């Protein structure tokens, strides 16, 4: 819903950015990219940086009129790995439901 998106953008995402911006000055992370910070940090710096990346990734995945069954190479890869799109959806949904926190779950292809 619009309310959920507003809350995640204005409250959660913004809070992570403000917190990380307060933790970085005067540290070895100053001037580093978000990805560099995530790869080399721990604790609060890592947690806030990772949540910023997580939310940014989510915003970039949203698209009008998106969704539905994939076609082409993505469909072929899903069918090869899961047997069918329906089986993929069942396993993906189960993983998301059982994922602690926001339940955001990604399908990732190894490079």
Res 3: pLDDT: 85
Res 8: pLDDT: 83
pLDDT in tens, 1-27: 788 888 888 888 999 999 999 999 999
**73 and 60 in one domain?**
no
**26 and 58 in one domain?**
yes
**37 and 16 in one domain?**
yes
What's the domain range around 99? 69-111
| H or E stretch at 81 | helix 72-82
**77 and 93 in one domain?**
yes
**89 and 61 in one domain?**
no
pLDDT in tens, 18-73: 999 999 999 999 999 999 999 999 999 999 999 999 899 988 888 888 888 999 99
Contact by Cβ (8 Å): 15, 51: no
Q: Is 106 exposed, middle or buried (0-12, 13-18, 19+ CB in 10 A)?
A: exposed
Q: Which of 39-43, 88-92, 96-100 has the lowest mean pLDDT?
A: 96-100
Question: Closest Cα partner for 32 from 44, 20, 19?
Answer: 20
Res 15: pLDDT: 95
- pLDDT category at 102 given cuts 50, 70, 90 is low
Question: Closest Cα partner for 59 from 4, 2, 5?
Answer: 5
CATH number where 5 lies: 1.10.287.990
Q: How many residues does the chain have?
A: 111
Number of domains in the chain: 2
């Amino acid at each position: 819903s619009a309310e959920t998106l507003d809350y995640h953008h204005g409250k959660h995402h913004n809070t992570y950015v403000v917190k990380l911006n307060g933790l970085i000055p005067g540290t070895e992370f100053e001037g580093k990219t978000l990805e560099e910070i995530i790869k080399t940090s721990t604790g609060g710096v890592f947690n806030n940086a990772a949540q910023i990346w997580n939310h940014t990734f989510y915003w970039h995945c949203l698209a009008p009129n998106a969704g539905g069954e994939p076609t082409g190479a993505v469909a072929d890869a899903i069918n090869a790995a899961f047997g069918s799109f329906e089986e993929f959806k069942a396993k993906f949904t189960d993983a998301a439901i059982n994922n602690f926190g926001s339940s955001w779950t990604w399908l990732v292809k190894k490079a």
